């Protein structure tokens, strides 16, 4: 048989890869991204938001770089895990005798993504270009939250903590975000920016109170605890009312959400404390 006949026979043969095999391969490739799938999606959303609203400023370029670097690294990790199953579990830093070390590719990558998105979301949503709610704003915050979940895990952060302490942590986070969100209105002279000084003071007072309560929670008398939480609730109602009805957070942004979520946290804490019928601290 001539070489031409061999070529014709190969061309007339069945497909080298069936549709089922191709679908199975794609499915395995998708499953390889399970630990960071939502980080990929957040990166795509942020990237598309930058392209849709592109203006060529340095902050748009930075936001686009945050999205692109995150997406490319995710795809690299996903592809490596697909071709080398168990790649994410490979130990890069050997475990030492003192118990330290023992870090796998997954752990190192997750810490990098957490730091990357922490700075990225901070600049993108507090400075520019997505300081109000939009696809870019949600994409940036989603990238940070899912990176945090991959790196430290929600359960590990809250494990062993009482319900009160968990809500105090939430209130502390809201206070910190509100404090940071209140700085640009003052420096950039937003409309009704003077009220940002009030929100900074309220957030700072809350951080001090939260720290005090968390450290001395088991020894604070019930009466003092109830009075403190009631005062914090009143403070946050006033803060949220002023900064979201008067300014500077009259549109949905970091300051707007942190003010109202912080207010809800103080309400939840007050309700739990009022309903607590356990014996008074000795």
pLDDT digits 0-9 by tens, 73-85: 999 999 999 999 8
Tokens at 200, concatenated? 């900074």
For residue 243, give the DSSP letter: I
> Is the omega angle on the peptide bond into residue 172 within 30 degrees of 0, that is, cis?
no
Q: Average pLDDT in the 247-252 region? A: 95
Sorted by where each begins, the domain ranges of the chain are 1-156, 160-277
Q: How confident is the model at residue 161 (pLDDT cuts 50, 70, 90)?
A: confident
CA atoms within 13 Å, Cβ hemisphere of 72: 6
At 16 the pLDDT is: 56
At 29 the pLDDT is: 82
pLDDT digits 0-9 by tens, 86-127: 999 998 888 776 666 678 999 999 999 999 999 999 999 999
Percent pLDDT > 90 in the chain is 71
At 165 the pLDDT is: 92
Cβ-contact 184, 198 below 8 angstroms: no
User: Which of the pair, 253 or 96, is modelled with greater confidence?
Assistant: 253
Q: Average pLDDT in the 10-30 region? A: 66
Short-list 235, 50, 262, 273, CA closest to 175: 262
């Amino acid at each position: 048989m001539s070489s031409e006949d061999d070529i014709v026979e190969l061309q007339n043969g069945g497909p080298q890869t069936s549709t089922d095999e191709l679908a199975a391969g794609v499915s395995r490739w998708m499953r390889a991204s399970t630990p960071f799938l939502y980080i990929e999606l957040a990166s795509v959303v942020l990237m598309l938001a930058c392209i849709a609203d592109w203006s060529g400023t340095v902050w748009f370029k930075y936001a686009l770089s945050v999205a692109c670097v995150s997406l490319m690294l995710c795809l690299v990790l996903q592809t490596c895990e697909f071709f080398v199953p168990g790649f994410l579990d490979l130990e890069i830093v050997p475990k030492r005798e003192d118990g330290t070390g023992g870090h796998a590719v997954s752990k190192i990558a997750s810490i990098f993504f957490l730091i990357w998105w922490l700075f990225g979301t901070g600049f993108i949503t507090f400075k520019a270009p997505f300081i109000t709610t939009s696809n870019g704003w949600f994409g940036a915050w989603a990238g940070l939250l899912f990176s945090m979940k991959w790196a430290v895990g929600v359960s590990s952060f809250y494990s062993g903590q009482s319900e009160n302490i968990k809500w105090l942590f939430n209130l502390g986070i809201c206070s910190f975000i509100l404090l940071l969100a209140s700085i640009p209105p003052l420096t950039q002279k937003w409309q009704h920016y003077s009220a940002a000084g009030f929100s900074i003071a309220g957030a700072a007072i809350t951080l001090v109170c939260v720290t005090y309560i968390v450290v001395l929670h088991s020894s604070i008398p019930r009466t003092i605890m109830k009075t403190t939480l009631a005062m914090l609730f009143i403070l946050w109602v006033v803060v949220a009312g002023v900064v979201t009805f008067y300014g500077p957070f009259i549109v949905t942004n970091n300051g707007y959400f942190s003010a109202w979520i912080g207010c809800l946290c103080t309400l939840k804490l007050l309700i739990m404390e009022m309903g607590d019928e356990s014996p008074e601290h000795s």
